Each structure stands twice: as C-alpha cells, then as structure tokens.
Amino acid sequence: MKTDFYKMTIGEVSEGLRNKEFTSLELTKAFLERIKEKDKEIKAYINVTEDLALEQAKIADEMIKKGEGNILTGIPCAIKDNIMIKGVKCTAASKFLENYIAEYDATVIEKLKKSGAVFLGKTNLDEFAMGSSCENSAFFPTRNPHDLERVPGGSSGGSAAAVAGDLCVYALGSDTGGSIRQPASFCGITGIKPTYGAVSRYGLIAFASSLDQIGPMTKTVEDCKIVLDVIKGKDKMDSTSTDSIKEVKMDKIRIVVPKEYFGEGLDKEVEKSVKDVIEFLKSSGAEIVEVSLPNTDYALACYYIIAPAEASANLARFDGLRYGIAFDGNEVDKVMDIYLNNRTNGFGKEVKKRIMLGTYTLSSGYYDAFYKRALKVRTLIRQDFEKVLEKVDIILGPTSPCLPFKIGEKSDDPMSMYLADIYTVSINLAGVPGISIPCGKSSTGLPIGLQLIGAPFEEEKLFIISSLIEKKYGRN
C-alpha cells in the first residue's frame, strides 16, 4: 500500500482499488486507525461508525471483484451529522438529539450506498448548522488541521477538517449561508454549494428550507465533480429537486468581479491572493469586467431575517416529547412548563438566539416590517445575479473576508462572526451555485479561499474555471 494514500484523490484511490494495490477493507482499517491517532486533536468526528464502515468495505470489495459499482465504490468518506444514515445516531450537534438514531436514509446516502461508499463516521458541526466556526457544537469545538488553535469554519467544520486532516477521502456538508464554502476556504479544500434543487434535501435536518443545500467537500475540483455527479438529481421525496444541471462548453471565459466584494473589512492578504488569481486569468485570455451588485450590502441583514424565521418554524418540532431528550424538571405540572424545560436545556445559546429572532420577525406586529420586506430584498438580490450572469460565465471574489480566526476570538462578538459569511449568504438567497477553492496561503501559512459563482445549474462552468486555477495554484 502506498505510504501517502491518505492524501490520494478519489480517482487515485479508485484506480488503486481496481488494480488490486489494496482492498477497501485495508484502506478503511487504515483510515480508522488514523482517526484514532489524529482526531484526538482535531475532533472532526462526533461519531465514528467503525462496524458499519468495515461491513461496507467488505461489500465494496465484493462489488469490485465482480466489476460492479462506480468510481466511489470502496472509498471511505465522512458525513455531516445533520444528514440521516439509517441505524446511525444523527445529533445535529445538539443535546436534543444526542441519542437520536435515524430511522431512514437521506436520499444522498441512498445514492452513496448504491455506489458502494464506505461511511467512516458523522462529523461535527455548529448546532443545527447554525454558526460560522464549529464552536457552537453542544459537544466540543473542532480545530483547524492547519493550526489547532484556530477554527475550521462552520457550520460544516467537521467535514472540512476531516478532509483537510486526511481523515477521509471526501465528505458531505450542508450549506445554508456559506456552511460548505467558508470552512472549505478556512481549511484549504474544495467545496461546492450546488444550485438550489440540484441535490435532494430529503433526510437533511432542516435549518432554513429555502436556503439549505447538501454538497461535497473534497481535496480537488475533480473530486468535487465526481461526488456531485453521484448525489445530484430529482427525487420524488423532495419536490424542490430537479434534473437540470447542464452540460456546457466554453470558448472564451468571461468573468465579473463585483466591486462590493473588495471593500472595507477585507483582509489585505486575502485581497492580494484573489487579485493575483484575477491577473492570472486575465493573462490566460479571460475577459475580466468590474461590475456592481448593488443589493449585496443588504444580503447579510436579509439573510438574518429569513434564515432565523425558517429555523424557528423548522425547530418547533423539537419539544422533547415525540423524540429527543426529555429533561426532568422539578414540580412540573403544566404542559407549557414541560416545553420550556425541555427547550431551555436542549437548545444551545446560538440556536435559542435564532429561534427568538425568527419568532419575533414572524409575529403579527412585525411580519410586514421585517420578514415580508426581507423577501422583497431577496428578489432584488436574485435579480442582480440574473442580470450579470446573462452576459458572463462566472462571478469571482473572496470566499471569506478574513483568515481562519482563533478559537474563542469572536465568541463574544456575534456581528463579527456573522460578517465572516458576508460574501456567501447572497448565493443562497439567490439559489445559484458557488464553489470555494484554495488560491494561496497567508504569510503565516493559513489557507485562503476563492469563490466562483455561476448561473443556476451551470456548475460545469465552475468546475472548468476552478480546474484551470487549481492547475496554476495547486491544492493546499
């Protein structure tokens, strides 16, 4: 077995399996050993599913012997712990679901199982996917493999850290306002939020249903495309899903750079790295145009009205009575006291904050003033993207305005934390696809990510241009 197989891509691992250089069982055992050794520091996993992984590896080896399966057969991966795997705990990093065992498979899990994938475990996240640092988990914070004193980003921080720390070959995450792309940037990997509807959300514990999207987190652009090709597509269990991802050809690359993405608050090293890529693309023959996305400045405020509003409705089902943990109370003699006791003890601080914010903006006195107005702004943001993307191939800018920050650094400053998503939330509001790829490192060796945004269902353009950049700058 190759000594550097932990860093191998999906294609390289698949080739090794097909050429009988190693078996899926050998590979899986090696990754499980590495998790035991390395994840004590990184803490990417909430739950390591060793028995399941070994069983799946044996099945995958039989599939390979028979010439069955596809490129993902026998390859160990990690799954964000808000995506259901039947018979496995699915906690959403919350005390409320600490002992909840999923009763069915998410559609993406069904597709991976049919491919013969191997699930190493469930990865950590901000509770119910609400956060930008993976510090809001009810269990423990995850650490950035590039610097263990820093956050991996959020909410899919566990998945990003597992890929970056070579604790799996690839992972799945979910993205509501940047939760795949921002941790991908912080951890120096590739992550894509597909077009809304391109991947089924069935079996994903909902945060904000009109914004949530499942997507892959990988070591390379090619790996990202491979996984997306397997999990994408229409699903009868998700009425918003569709088979609309297009095959595209590109003769000349036309790129837009919004001036709003290079304003106040952008770290100088991030700005330099992104502008270096712009110059590289220009020298490669790409047409670069600066434009304005005038409603970008309102995206964060719009997001933090719509997302908490949807979250307050989605999380209303968690009461500790039907499922989850029921917390004992003293002299509880009213139903309302039971609800209050369970929810007070079950939800973390950030989740409570967003439930209260969402409930407030949906209340009768404030619905028109806040929520209805935010929906109108969302339409304007979507129209901004539509107008620009009619004439060009992609929009380019930084993934995050800042470098990975230290654990605890922004805990007492929620606005500063929310601003880490300033370049990503508008993509979810508009429903368009966005990918984050590495584009360099800071002077202290921290990863820097570049974001490419495309028209709906034109993920292929993102992959083509991302691959061009990856060939020049490599992978972190």
pLDDT tens column, 34-78: 999 999 999 999 999 999 999 999 999 999 999 999 999 999 999
Domain range list for the chain:
5-231
CB–CB of 439/273 below 8 Å?
yes
When mean pLDDT is compared across 40-54, 304-318, 411-425, the lowest value belongs to 411-425
Tell me which residues are annotated as active site.
80, 155, 179
Crossing angle for the helix pair 459-473 and 268-283, to the nearest 10 degrees: 100
Across the chain, mean pLDDT equals 94
Q: Does domain 5-231 have CATH number 3.30.930.10?
A: no
Per-residue pLDDT tens digits for 107-134: 999 999 999 999 999 999 999 999 999 9
| Whether residue 413 has pLDDT greater than 90 | no
pLDDT at 476 (0 to 100):
65
| Whether residue 291 has pLDDT greater than 60 | yes
Q: What is the pTM of this model?
A: 0.96
